[in-house]
Amino acid sequence: METYDVIIVGAGPAGTSTALHLQQLAPELAERTLILEKSRHPRTKLCGGGILPDGLRILQRLGLDFNEVPYTRILRAHFEFDGRGTALTGEGAESLHVVLREDLDAWLARKAQERGVPLQEETPVRRIIPGDSFVTVVTADGEYRARVVVGADGAHSVVRRAIAPHQRVPYSRALVLWVPPKPESSSHAPEDAYFDFTCIREGVPGYIWDFPILVHGQPMRCWGITDNGVGPHHSRPLRPLLAREMARHGYRLEDYPLYGESVPHFGVRNVFSAPGVLLVGDALGVDFLYGEGIAPALGYGQLAARAIVDAFAEGDFSFRDYRERVLQSPLGQVLRRRALTASLIFRLRHPAMQRFFWHRLGQHLRTITERYLTNWA
């Protein structure tokens, strides 16, 4: 049985960020770290691919050049209800950027390898067995053990189930697809992003989105709908609402492949860690105001790496303080504010209340967003 100081399960943004931050903080520890990935990069990943500026700041501090990844820069992001609302405009690095996740994940995995962190692909993890001194990782090809295991294995995390088998975490549902642009039939500007909250009126506490994305070098549009699971209507069908909105812009939903996924929410009651085990990224929970996963995943990796370095320095692998580290960090505070904001917005089901919020208060959205809901990095 091979033994490592750290095993990271999952080579998405949270896992590779943990590895890259370990290499930055403690290179000798990163050399004794192994990343296990069930697939092989580049691998398909269901995700809208939006990265807010905080994520770019994390990458910059890691010495990574985001320009190496194909991306689309969003000029304006529109937030609407019943056809009216507000638009946020970003300039340069302060813009919303959109990437294809298979491009981003493969790039980050390659950077981790280039900096000396071993990555073993096509190695699905079947089981995690915590122990007194080591954590055993059971894979399809054999067993490994490590002093610390990081669960970065996504929404359906094997690691999370091992340390919290009975925890029920609130989750969001989403449908997503990629379609060619139809500028002749759509009223949406080709360089802008749109988030329409009118579906709240239909009993779905979420929004429908549409924004540009590069898919294998080809300009496309990413469409989708999310149900953030607030309130009693979580079983409402999403497909008809998405089909109706897309039809207004010249698309027939049934003409394109449609993908579905569910992701757990970030919450203060979630399980964050266990002796020898830390959770990061989707395994710990995704922001459910914006549905943003990439930038928080990069931030989780930074927090986890610092906790691991301190654990080896102090010889204490209980990670009893990891929850407070996350919650008291700028990232954790913003995620808590977003959770509170989401619970308020998505419970305003009466159309008049939503119109008041988006039509009357929309002018203050930029100030609220910049001061309280972003800029944690």
pLDDT in tens, 62-100: 999 999 999 999 989 998 888 888 888 876 556 889 999
- Whether the CB-CB separation of 45 and 185 falls below 8 Å is answered with no
What is the band of 346 on the pLDDT scale with cuts at 50, 70, 90?
confident
pLDDT tens, 261-313? 888 999 999 999 999 999 999 999 998 888 889 999 999 999 999 999 999 99
Closest CA to 342 of 275, 292, 274: 292
Q: Would you say residue 236 has pLDDT above 90?
A: no
d(CA 158, CA 156): 7
So what's the pLDDT on residue 113? Answer: 97
So what's the pLDDT on residue 66? Answer: 96
So what's the pLDDT on residue 313? Answer: 97
Place of tokens 């459910």: 288
Q: Residue 84: phi, psi to the nearest 5?
A: -130, 155
- Whether the CB-CB separation of 100 and 109 falls below 8 Å is answered with no
pLDDT tens, 27-52? 999 999 999 999 999 988 878 899 99
Q: Which two tokens stand for residue 262?
A: 């569910």
pLDDT tens, 94-135? 688 999 999 999 999 999 999 999 999 999 999 999 998 999
Q: Would you say residue 336 has pLDDT above 90?
A: yes
pLDDT tens, 174-219? 999 999 998 888 999 999 999 999 998 888 889 999 999 999 999 9
What is the band of 240 on the pLDDT scale with cuts at 50, 70, 90?
very high
Mean pLDDT of 218-223: 96
What is the band of 372 on the pLDDT scale with cuts at 50, 70, 90?
confident
So what's the pLDDT on residue 235? Answer: 63
Listing DSSP states for 255-272 in one string gives GS--EEEEEEBP-TTS--
Q: Three-class SS of residue 195?
A: strand
Closest CA to 373 of 327, 326, 341, 329: 341
Above pLDDT 90, what percent of the chain?
69
More confident residue, 250 or 364: 250
Name all domains of the chain by residue range, CATH numbers in brackets.
Answer: 2-72+97-169+265-347 (3.50.50.60)
So what's the pLDDT on residue 95? Answer: 81
